[in-house]
């Protein structure tokens, strides 16, 4: 247990909130699917001297001096992500999942272009085109839905018709509140049919993909994947954009082709969206990715699925109605209206 002696001496008020939060997490049963507990090693990296360093640019191509260790730690994170997710490139600089999605859109599209994503009311995310988001003012979003909330089955026939009609530049497979596994082959087939880029937002299930207990969209030919680094990946708050293609010089604008996608993404992050990355966050991401490469992490991910399925069954046995009547991942969506007659 961290002592935080310097913090206690310097600022007792903040120290009290840190200790209070620590005890709250230790003593409570946390059921928020987007939260997790980082390891002591990740926590130490997050509080390391890397927090002092400005590192605009990319390894070997920075705008400040003194980068010998920042380059090493960022390359560690990149290499570990590439190995875990079987991709050609990883940008580990996004400060959040929402920012990663925005950068991914701008890497491939122009304002006014169309994205086909999951409807928010059927499990999608704000950045997948919710009208209240700023993204809906920049890009045109159309939506696919479940055809059967009892099973969670996506209406792929409707998705194909919408894609043919609307001609999206990106078809997005992803969710924030959908407890079933997607048919990535169907997504890729529809994307190929209309000439769209196949993108996956795997923020919630990235840890289980890394461990090999859920399917990897790249195995189905997807071009790009975004994810947060917390949630099931058990790292710090942050994000990554993973791509297939050839890594070029991020300081030069390439032609907009699938092969150049890694470079387009890098330039969309910097200088397009962010300045200097948070290097303490990058160091902690590297540690988390190292942990996710271990046999123990695979056992952990397998246990997540076992626990979730067992919990879902017990909830339903007790009269609780779950949307889709179960789960394929760590998510359970409770139908409160049916379960408890809530208005």
Instruction: Give the pair of three-digit tokens for residue 79.
Output: 């290499």
Which helix (H) or strand (E) element contains residue 25? helix 12-27
pLDDT band with cut points at 50, 70 and 90 for residue 254: very high
Per-position DSSP letters for 64-82, written without gaps between them: SS--HHHHHHHHHHHHHHH
CA 68 to chain centre: 28
Q: Is the pLDDT of residue 342 over 90?
A: no
| Active-site residue list | 54, 56, 201, 228, 231, 237
Find the farthest-apart pair of alpha carbons in the chain and give their distance in angstroms, rounded.
Answer: 64
Q: Is the pLDDT of residue 122 over 80?
A: no
Instruction: Give the pair of three-digit tokens for residue 37.
Output: 């507990």
pTM equals 0.94
Q: Please name which of 241, 216, 236 lies closest in space to residue 301, comparing C-alpha atoms.
A: 216
pLDDT band with cut points at 50, 70 and 90 for residue 124: low
Residue 210 burial (10 A CB sphere; 0-12, 13-18, 19+): buried
Q: Which string of b and e fits 96-135 if b means at least 16 CB within 10 Å?
A: bbbbbbbbbbbbbbeeeebbbbbbbebbbbbbbbbeebeb
Q: Is the pLDDT of residue 202 over 80?
A: yes
Percent of the chain with pLDDT over 90: 83
Helix (H, G, I), strand (E, B) or coil at 289: helix
Q: What is the mean pLDDT of the segment spanning 69-81?
A: 99
What per-residue confidence (pLDDT) applies to 264? Answer: 98
Please name each of the domains of the chain with its CATH number: 1-30 (no CATH), 50-292 (3.40.640.10), 296-340 (no CATH)
Residues paired with 144 in a beta bridge = 118
Instruction: Give the pair of three-digit tokens for residue 142.
Output: 């159309």
N-term to C-term CA, the chain: 43
């Amino acid at each position: 247990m961290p002592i935080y002696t310097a913090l206690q001496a310097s600022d007792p008020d903040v120290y009290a909130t840190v200790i209070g939060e620590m005890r709250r997490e230790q003593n409570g049963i946390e059921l928020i699917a987007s939260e997790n507990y980082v390891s002591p090693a990740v926590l130490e990296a997050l509080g390391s001297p890397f927090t002092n360093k400005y590192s605009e640019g990319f390894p070997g191509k920075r705008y400040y001096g003194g980068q010998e260790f920042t380059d090493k730690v960022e390359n560690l994170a990149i290499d570990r992500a590439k190995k875990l997710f079987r991709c050609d490139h990883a940008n580990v600089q996004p400060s959040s999942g929402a920012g990663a999605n925005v950068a991914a859109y701008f890497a491939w599209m122009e304002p006014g272009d169309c994205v086909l994503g999951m409807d928010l009311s059927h499990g999608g995310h704000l950045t997948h085109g919710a009208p209240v988001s700023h993204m809906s003012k920049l890009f045109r979003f159309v939506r696919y839905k479940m055809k059967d909330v009892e099973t969670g089955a996506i209406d792929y026939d409707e998705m194909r018709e919408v894609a043919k009609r609307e001609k999206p530049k990106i078809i997005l497979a992803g969710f924030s509140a959908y407890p079933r596994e997607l048919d990535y082959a169907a997504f890729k087939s529809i994307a190929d049919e209309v000439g769209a880029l196949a993108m996956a937002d795997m923020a919630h299930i990235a840890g289980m993909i890394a461990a090999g207990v859920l399917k990897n969209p790249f195995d189905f030919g997807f071009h790009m994947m975004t994810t947060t680094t917390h949630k099931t990946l058990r790292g710090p708050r942050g994000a990554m954009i993973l791509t297939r293609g050839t890594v070029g010089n991020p300081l030069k604008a390439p032609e907009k082709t699938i092969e150049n996608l890694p470079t387009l993404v890098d330039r969309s992050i910097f200088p397009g969206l962010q300045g200097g990355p948070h290097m303490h966050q990058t160091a902690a991401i590297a540690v988390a990715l190292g942990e996710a490469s271990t046999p123990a992490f695979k056992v952990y991910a397998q246990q997540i699925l076992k626990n979730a399925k067992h919990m879902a069954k017990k909830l339903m046995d007790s009269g609780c109605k779950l949307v889709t009547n179960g789960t394929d991942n760590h998510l359970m969506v409770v139908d409160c209206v049916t379960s408890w007659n809530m208005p």
